[in-house]
Amino acid sequence: MKIIIDRYIPYLEGVFDSFAEVVRLAPEAITASAVHDADVLIVRTRTRCDGTLLDGSKVRFIATATIGFDHIDTAYCQEHGIDWTSCPGCNAQAVCDYVEEALCSSQTLLDTTFRSIGIIGVGHVGSLVAAMAQRRGLQVVCHDPFRQDEGFVDSPIEKAAQCDVVTFHTPLTRRGESEYPTYHLCDAGFLSCCKEKTLIINAARGGISDEQALLQSGHPCVIDCWENEPDISTDLLQSEKTLLASYHIAGYSAQGKRNASLMCAQAVYRWAGLRTEPALPPLGLLQGDNRPGWLQRITNQLKETPDAFEKLRKNYALR
């Protein structure tokens, strides 16, 4: 068995060596020619898994070390007998911590006190954000039509839009893919429902925000996930209304990364029919910056070197 792993996925050293040939590659090196004789791929969002990559290959299992999976052409995989898995909830706490830091820093930058928060998407991350916001004394308004069958009280999205802060925690889906598509959910129509100074936070997926509409609206915002990464909108980045900005690292914590790697390893073991559990290295000492103000420091770094988005992301020290 041959397994190709994105070299930037940590904690998988030696995990598969007893039963597979393991090749670690940079995401740009995971090409059709590289994967043609591979059985398993372990990737991140930087690898688009579709016919361009997979046609004619031996690949029969894909694990993405991410919550989102819109970079996987699931219809193609189903048609060609390729199993796949993602890692829902792996970095939920890290994203919640990011949102909390964004709230604290934004209040200071805007010289205000937030009293209410609208949470769009109340899955693994959104539920943690709701609990954090309640702990901080904010009025919480939640919108998630997918949870109605669970007895979840789903507030209208227009009510969530009227909060002091709106934060998105949904997958990215388009028309025809979902009953409730989220592509450009935060568009001109949604923004027109918001109060004039509502803070918009996108730490979910880039395409959820219509960035041109957001820029034209003049709403203050915090952006971690961008459309067309790594070629991000410098107009939005450099806008004075973009209070805080980062290079898609909201979920980048050591624990979150290890969680994702473990979930991927367990999935590969199950797919391969192994009855043992994978043994991953321990977390080790953290080298990342999690001191107060860490998000402001990242913002300054990105605004000073916007063309270094991908380099900054690759070299980000896990907090």
Give the residue extent of every domain in the chain: 2-90+254-271, 92-250+295-314
Residue 153 predicted with pLDDT over 90 = no
What is the pLDDT averaged over residues 32-51?
Answer: 96
Which SS3 state, helix, strand or coil, does residue 95 take? helix
Cα–Cα dist 318/248, whole Å: 12
Q: Is the pLDDT of residue 57 over 90?
A: yes
Nearest CA to 15 among 272, 229, 256? Answer: 272
Same fold? 2-90+254-271, 92-250+295-314: yes
pLDDT at 154: 79
pLDDT at 317: 82
Q: Active site residue: 71, 184, 248, 319, which one?
A: 248
- Of the candidates 184, 205, 219, 258, the residue annotated as catalytic is 205
pLDDT of amino acid 151:
64
Dihedral angle, C-alpha 292, 294, 45, 270, nearest 10 °:
-40
- Catalytic site residue 248? yes
Q: Looking at per-residue confidence, does 291 or 26 come out higher?
A: 26
Average confidence (pLDDT) over 166-179: 91
Work out the average pLDDT over 16-28. Answer: 96
As a whole-number percent, the residues of the chain with pLDDT over 70 amount to: 97
The CA distance from 297 to 249, in Å, is: 13
**Mean pLDDT value across the chain:** 94
pLDDT value for 147 = 82
Tokens of 165: 């802060």
Residue 261 has pLDDT above 90, yes or no: yes
Predicted pLDDT at 225: 97
- Whether the pLDDT of residue 223 is over 60: the answer is yes
The active-site residue out of 7, 100, 147, 229 is 229
Residue 229: active-site member: yes
Has residue 286 got a pLDDT over 60?
Answer: no
205 catalytic, yes or no? yes
Tell me: pLDDT of 287 over 80.
Answer: no
pTM: 0.83
How high is the pLDDT of residue 176?
82
More confident of the two residues 68 and 19: 19
Tell me the per-residue pLDDT of 175-215, one tens digit each, with 9 for 90 and over. 888 889 999 999 999 999 999 999 999 999 999 999 999 99
> pLDDT category, 94, cuts 50, 70, 90?
very high
Residue 226 has pLDDT above 60, yes or no: yes
pLDDT at 242: 98
- Give the pLDDT confidence score for residue 319 in this predicted structure: 82
CATH match of 2-90+254-271 with 1.20.1250.20: no
State in words which class domain 92-250+295-314 has.
alpha beta
Q: Can you give the pLDDT at residue 254?
A: 87
Q: Which residues contact 70 (CB under 8 A, 6 or more apart)?
A: 171, 172, 173, 205, 207
pLDDT at 2: 98
